[in-house]
Amino acid sequence: MKVLVPIKRVIDYNVKVRVKADNTNVDLANVKMAINPFCEIAIEEAVRLKEAGVATEIIAVSIGDKSCQEQLRTALALGADRAIQIETEQVLDSLNIAKLLKKVVDEEQPKLIILGKQAIDTDNNQTGQMLAALTNMPQGTYASKVTIDGDKVQVTREVDGGLQTVSLSLPAIVTTDLRLNEPRYASLPNIMKAKRKPLEVKAAADFGIDLTPRTTLIKVTPPATRQAGVIVENVEQLIEKLKNEAKVIS
Amino acid sequence: MSILVYVEHDKGQLKAETLKTVAAAQAMGGSIDLLIAGENCQELAEQAAKINGINKVLVADNAVYAHQLAENVSLLVSKLAENYSHIVATALTTGKNFMPRVAALLDVAQISEIIGVESADTFVRPIYAGNAIATVQSLDSKKVITVRATAFDAVACDGNAEIITLDDVTDAGTSSFVSDELTKSERPDLGAARVVISGGRGMQNGENFKLLEGIADKLGAAIGASRAAVDAGFVPNDMQVGQTGKIVAPDLYIAVGISGAIQHLAGMKDSKIIVAINKDAEAPIFQVADYGLVADLFDALPELENKL
C-alpha cells in the first residue's frame, strides 16, 4: 500500500511570532522554521504503518520554494522513501494547494493520504478535507487511532464530546490529531541516508492549474494585549476580589 | 444576498454556539435560512425556528445524516448552496470537518474561524495561534465561512420561522459510522460554560484533577486542561483548551498549574476574568491574569473549595 504524506514548512512552534511594522504580514525573516507539528505526526503514522508491514512505500510531498526541501529531507530521515517538491514562490490558498495535491494523487495513486489537521501558521484546518472533496475520497479528520482493515480504514476521531469512530473505504484521507502518536527523532545515520534518497522537483506552473489567489490579505495586526493584573496574597483575598471587584462569583 | 447557516446540534439539542453564529451571519447582512441535518430532528427544528432574525429552517431528516458524516453533509450543503451567497457554520468539530469539503465542491476558498465581520466579503480572523489578527477579503462569488462563536453575542430566541422539510437524500456511500465514545459529564459544556477551571502539567497526574471537581461543582464550572496535561495522558483530549483544542471565553477562567504557553493562551485569552494559580511566580500565565495567586496548588485548591 502506497501512502502519501503532504507536509508544510512553518515557523517553529516555540517561536513567538511578530507582526511587521507596516501591518502587511508577520515577520518571518531569520525565524527558525520546522515541519508543522501535525505533519510530523502524519509522517510518523505512515512510518509505523510501514514498520507494521501495511504500507509499502511512503512519499512525502511539500509545496513551496526551495527552502521546503529542508523539511522534505527531515521527512526522508524519519522514514519516507522518496520526496516531491512542487516548486512555487507564490503563497497559495488551501484550495490551490489541494488542487496541486490532487494531481500528485492522480499520478501516484496512493491508497492512503495522511495530512496534519491544521498548520500552526494560518490555522486554517482545510487542506485535507478539500483534497478529499476533489479526489472524491472519504475523510477521517482529527484522528487519534488509525487501523487498516482490508479495503477499509477505521479512524477514531477526536470530536467535541469525546471520540467518534468511522469506517472509510480505501483510498481515503486521514488528518492527524495530537494523540495519534508521538513522533520519533531522526537518528544521525538516517539523516545521512536521507541525503541520498530521491527528491524530485516539479514546477507548480507545469501542473496546468489556475493558481490565482482566492483571497486578499488586507492587513495583519497584533492582537489586543491583556494587562497583567494583581497578585493576591492568599485564597481569601482571591475570593474577595472575585466577589466584590470582578463580580464573577457570588 | 442570502445566507445559509448550518445548525450545530448534539443529542437532539441545539448547541448554544449556533445562536452566536447567527449573530455573525446577521453582521454580514442579508436574509438568513438555517439548515439542520440529522435524524429525528423535528423537535430540534422547532427549537431552531424560535431563533430571532431568521427566515426559514430547512430540515434534512434522514438516517444518512444521523452522524453528520462529512461525505454526506457536504453533498447536501453544496447542492443547497446555489441559492445562497454565504454558507456559514460554527467552527466546532462538525463544521470544521465538512465545511472545507463544501468549499472545494463549490470551487471557492474557505475563510476559517472568523472573529469579526468587516463587510459582506471581508472578515477578521486570528492566525499564528492568535498572535496575529488577519483581515481577509474573499474574492470568490460565494463565501464559505466558519465562525468562532466566542467572538459574537448570542441572538435571542423568541421568533417563529417557517420549517421546511427537504426530501433530497445524498449518500456518498464511502463512509459509515462505527461507534461513539462520549465523555459523560454532569457539568456544562466547555464551550458554553460561564466558568471554566483548567489544570495543567502542574496537576502531576490525572487523579489530582479531582481537586478541581469540588470547585467546579461549587461554581457550576466546566473542567478543561492544557495541551501539556493532555499530552502527559492526565485527561482526554476533548478537555483541551488551546490553539488545537477548544476555544473558550467564559466570564471566569481559572488556570491551575498551567505555565501559559502561547498555544494555551490562544484558547482562553478572551475570557473576561482570568485567575492563575501557580507556584512559579515567573510563569507567563501571570502576564495575562487579572488575579494571580503564587501558591502550591495542592494547598490552594482544597482551601479554595472550602472557602467558596
Q: Which CATH number fits the domain that encloses residue A102?
A: 3.40.50.620
* Tens of pLDDT, residue by residue, chain A (250 residues): 999 999 999 999 889 899 999 999 999 999 999 999 999 999 999 999 999 999 999 999 999 999 999 999 999 999 999 999 999 999 999 999 999 999 999 999 999 999 999 999 999 999 999 999 999 999 999 999 999 999 999 999 999 888 999 999 999 999 999 889 999 999 999 999 999 999 999 999 999 999 999 999 999 999 988 888 899 999 999 999 999 999 998 8
Nearest CB neighbour to A133, from listed B105, B111, B113 = B105
CB contact under 8 A, A232 and B74: no
CB contact under 8 A, B237 and A226: no
- Asked if A21 has any chain B CB less than 8 Å from its own CB, the reply is no
Give the pLDDT mean for B227-249: 91
- Domain B2-165 and domain B195-307, same fold? Reply is yes
Report angle CA B49, B238, A45 to the nearest 5 degrees.
Answer: 120
Number of domains in chain A: 1
**pLDDT above 80 for B194:** yes
Q: Is A45 helix (H, G, I), strand (E, B) or coil?
A: helix
User: For residues B172 and B231, is the Cβ–Cβ distance under 8 A?
Assistant: no
Rounded CA separation B238/B221 (Å): 16
What interface predicted TM-score (ipTM) does this complex get?
0.94
**pLDDT above 80 for B79:** yes
Nearest CB neighbour to A230, from listed B67, B69, B291 = B291
CB contact under 8 A, A161 and B295: no
Nearest CB neighbour to B174, from listed A168, A226, A236 = A168
Q: Supply the pLDDT for residue B237.
A: 87
Q: Is A30 exposed, middle or buried (0-12, 13-18, 19+ CB in 10 A)?
A: exposed
Which residue type occupies A8?
K
- Asked if A222 has any chain B CB less than 8 Å from its own CB, the reply is yes
Q: Which residues of A touch B191 (CB under 8 A)?
A: 160
Rounded CA separation B8/B272 (Å): 25
Nearest CB neighbour to B103, from listed A95, A128, A141 = A95
Tally of residues, chain B: 308
Q: Supply the pLDDT for residue A164.
A: 96
Closest-CA residue in chain A for B177? A166
Residue A137 within a domain: yes
CB contact under 8 A, B104 and A222: no
Phi and psi of B151, rounded to 5°?
-85, -5
Partners of residue A2 on adjacent β-strands: A57
Q: What is the CATH number of domain B2-165?
A: 3.40.50.620
Distance of CA A47 to the CA centre of its chain: 16
Q: Supply the pLDDT for residue A226.
A: 83
* Interval B120-133: pLDDT, tens: 999 999 999 899 99
Average pLDDT score over chain B: 95
Closest-CA residue in chain A for B308? A239
Q: Is A193 helix (H, G, I), strand (E, B) or coil?
A: helix
Confidence of residue B164 (pLDDT cuts 50, 70, 90): very high
CB contact under 8 A, A166 and B111: no
C-alpha dihedral, A127 to A128 to A132 to A137, nearest 10° = 170
Domain ranges of chain B: 2-165, 195-307
Overall CATH class of domain B195-307: alpha beta
Residue A233 within a domain: no
Q: Which residues of A touch B263 (CB under 8 A)?
A: 13
Q: Supply the pLDDT for residue B188.
A: 87
**pLDDT above 80 for B44:** yes
Best B101, B145, B280 member to test A by mutation, with max A CBs in 10 Å, is B101
Domain extent for A183: 2-221
Please state, in angstroms and as integers, the Cα–Cα distance from residue B84 to each residue in A16, B2, B34, following that order.
40, 5, 11
Residue A93 within a domain: yes
A196 Cβ neighbours under 8 A, 6+ residues apart = none
Q: Which residues of A touch B293 (CB under 8 A)?
A: 231-232, 234-235, 238
Rounded CA separation A154/A166 (Å): 6
Q: Supply the pLDDT for residue A250.
A: 82
Residue A50 within a domain: yes
Give the pLDDT mean for B272-279: 96
Q: What is the pTM of this model?
A: 0.92
Rounded CA separation A228/B98 (Å): 39
Give the pLDDT mean for B42-65: 96
Residue A205 within a domain: yes
Give the pLDDT mean for B11-25: 94
CB contact under 8 A, B174 and A138: yes
Task: Evaluate the omega torsion of the peptide bond into residue A6 and state whether it is cis, within 30 degrees of 0.
Answer: no
